[in-house]
Every structure is written in structure tokens, then in C-alpha cells.
Amino acid sequence: MYIHATILRPKLCQIVLTGYNGAMVEDLSDIVRVLAPAFASFVVGMALTPALTHYLYKYKAWKKTPGKTALDGAPAHGFNQLHNGHEVRAPRMGGIVIWGSVLITILGIALVARFVPDAAILKLDFLSRNQTWIPLATLLVGAFVGLVDDLYVIRPGGEGLRLSYRLLIVVLLSSFIGMWFWAKLDVTAIGIPFGPPLEIGWLIAPLFVLVSLALYASGVIDGIDGLSGGIFGSVFASYSIIAFAQNQIDLAAFSAAIVGGLLAFLWYNIPPARFYMSDTGTMALTLTIATIAFMTDDLGGGVGIAVLPVIGALLAATVASNIAQVVSKKYFGMKLLRIAPLHHHLEAIGWPGYKVVMRYWVLSVVFAFLGVIIALAAA
């Protein structure tokens, strides 16, 4: 007995079931293609970390002078009172574990598939021009720029690249990618949950720039041991599920590989952290989230952009709390929060760091579930 069933909206999931057993095998094969890179990336990250840690401590890759300035340029007295000694006790550049494990995994599987063209290995190869080249390039460019910034920070008296330079780089990179989506991939609309896509034409490019800038600004969530790793892990896991539902298996595998790298990073970032993610991690991850959100939007027949504020609700709250603090101080002469962003305010009013981290993790998973539910239901 054969059951013929075609999933509606074939752009989302082009799977034709010719039999119950065949369908199960096909689904299982795709799940393995997604989970195997995640496991491999975690293993690579765990193996990479001891050697990386050795060199980071050997060359004292931490900020030499404690202290931080606020967004308005004034000394961040509240933050400095809470974390005055933290910045000089552990190295920066822990983000290398994340993007390094992803890079080794994706290139390693691709090379093995090339020289050992076994059918099973070929299926695991998720380096593809139409799904993973753009997010991988974004990840690596962001990682490189962030790494340069970190190298400037760890010099004696170093303060890193100027914010204006970093923002310019983000604008240039995101402008190029946004134009690529519009001109090369013919993306001219954004998905609207439970409604038809909204045509915006060439405005897709500046929209990508704005989303990238907002996400880059959310990178300041890397402020308490373990906080950023858990938040980013929930976000990438969510988009892995969404991409899988759209039958973008390579993109789902790529997102899952980042989750694996983040889990390896978190293993060594549980308080007290062995190292900080810093700019080489946060810039790489935030810009990659923007790319994946757009790839799981109208291009994949979904609503990846619309659900981003839900899936990344805590990233959005971080940016919003910073903006609200600056506006309130400038125009009303008062601070809304003791320290911005919000997670440092919670520390300032007496929450221990581990409580902030654990509750942020719980909320990030809840919002991730909600975002995935909306994305799948809207499809």
C-alpha cells in the first residue's frame, strides 16, 4: 500500500512521499544532515579550545587597563564598579572557538566529500553556493574585523577600532550583501505572517543594512559570563528549524553547526569564564543572523525577518534599553536604568550574574519557541 502526499507550498518543503518507509528514511536522512555538523562542530570546538586557551593566556590576550566608556562617551562608572577587574582577568577572542569550529567543520566535510566521494559523505556536505556561501562569508568577514578590533584592544592602552570605523565596515558589508539579495537573488519582498509578502523592491538593500546595524548593536549582550552564548544558541537553533522546514537543508546544517560551536564555547564560558567572546565572536554572529533571517524570508517562502524581533527578543531588548537610556539622559536629564543595557541594570539592583544569565537563557528559549511557532504556522 502506497500513500501519495505532497506537502503544500513546495517552495517550503519539496518532499514527495511515495511510501511510509520511504518518507521516514528521507526525513531521517535530512535530520542527520543537520545534526551531524552540529555534533562535529561541538567536538572540533572542544578539541580546539585547550590549544587556543594556552596561547591566549601565554600572550596575555586581555585588556590591559580596566574601564569602559558609555555610549555618550562618558566613563561608565556603574559598569566599572561592577566589572572593574573582570576585563583584565580573562583573555578576549574566545569567539575564535565558535567560528573556527564552524569553518573547520564545513571545510573538513567538503574536503572529505571531494576526495572520498561516498554517497553518505556527499549528503553531509553542506557547503553550497545557493545556501551557505553568503552566510559563511558574512561569518568570516565579521570574525576578521572583530579579531582586528580585539588585537587593538589587548595592546597596552588599547581601545580597539573606533566605533565609527566598525559601523562603517558593517554598513559597507551589509550594503554589499543587501544589494546581492536584490540584484542577484531577485529578493524584492519581505514575508508577512498570515498575509501576502510585502513588495518593497530595491528597499530590501537598505532594510538589510538597518537590520545588520541593529543586530551588531545587540552584541553588547556579551557582558556577563555565559550570557551571550546561550542567547545566540537559541537564535541559531530557531533558524535551523525554520530553514529545515523550508527544505533549505544546507542552511539548516550551517545554523546547527554554529549552535555546536556555541555549545563548545559555553562549556568553557560557564562562570568563571575562561575567555570572552568579544568582537571577533559578536560581530561574526550578529551579522550572520541578519543574513540567515533574510534567507529564510521570502527567498525561502517564509517570514524569517518578521519573526526576528521575537526569536531575538532579548537582543532587541538590549538595543532598546541602550537607546532609551541615551535618549532619556540627553533630553530629560535622567537615567531610566542604573546601568545600560538591561542585563547590567539587573546586576546593579542586586541580581547576581548567574541569576541574570539563567533567566535570560530561559526567556531566550521561550521566545525562540514562540518565533518558530509563528514562522511555521505562517508558512
Q: Assign 189 to helix, strand or coil.
A: strand
139 occurs within a structural domain: yes
Question: Given a cut of 90, is residue 171 above it in pLDDT?
Answer: yes
- The answer to whether 48 touches 108, Cβ cutoff 8 Å, is no
Of 94, 47, 89, 44, give the one whose Cα is nearest residue 229: 94
Pairing of strands 5-6, 16-17: antiparallel
- 18 inside domain: no
Angle at 160 between CA 52 and CA 79, to 5 degrees: 90
By residue range, what is the domain housing residue 95? 35-378
- Asked if residues 190 and 207 have their Cβ atoms less than 8 Å apart, the reply is yes
For residue 311, tell me if it sits in a domain.
Answer: yes
C-alpha to C-alpha distance for 265 and 274, rounded to whole angstroms: 10
Amino acid identity, residue 228? Answer: S
Q: What's the confidence (pLDDT) of residue 157?
A: 78
**Residue at 119 is within a domain:** yes
pLDDT tens for 298-344 read 999 999 999 999 999 999 999 999 999 999 998 988 989 998 999 99
Residue 53 lies in a domain: yes
Which value, to the nearest 10 degrees, does the dihedral of the CA atoms of residues 9, 191, 243, 188 take?
100
Residue 85's pLDDT is what? 60
Q: What region, left, alpha or beta, does residue 226 occupy, with left being phi > 0 and alpha being psi -120 to 50 degrees?
A: left
**How many structural domains is the chain composed of?**
1
Non-local (6+) Cβ contacts of 284 within 8 A are: 95, 98, 99, 138, 139, 140, 142, 143, 146
- State pLDDT tens for residues 1-55: 333 333 334 344 443 444 445 555 566 789 999 999 999 999 999 999 999 999 9
Q: Is 17 part of a structural domain of the chain? A: no
The answer to whether 55 and 119 are in contact (CB under 8 A) is no
Q: Is residue 25 part of a domain?
A: no
Q: Is residue 270 part of a domain?
A: yes
Averaged pLDDT of the chain: 88
- Rounded to the nearest 5 degrees, what angle is found at the Cα of 292, between the Cα atoms of 287 and 293? 95
Considering only residues 244 and 63, tell me which one the structure prediction assigns the higher pLDDT.
244
pLDDT digits (tens, 9 = 90+) for 84-123: 666 667 899 999 999 999 999 999 999 998 888 777 778 8
pLDDT in tens, 146-155: 999 999 999 8
Q: Cell 577587574 belongs to which residue?
A: 85
Full-prediction pTM beyond 0.75?
Answer: yes
Higher-scoring residue by pLDDT: 339, 261: 261
The one-letter code for the residue type at 111 is L
* pLDDT on residue 83: 63
Q: Round to whole Å and give the CA distance between 88 and 66.
A: 6
Q: What is the mean pLDDT of residues 278-305?
A: 96
pLDDT value, residue 346: 94
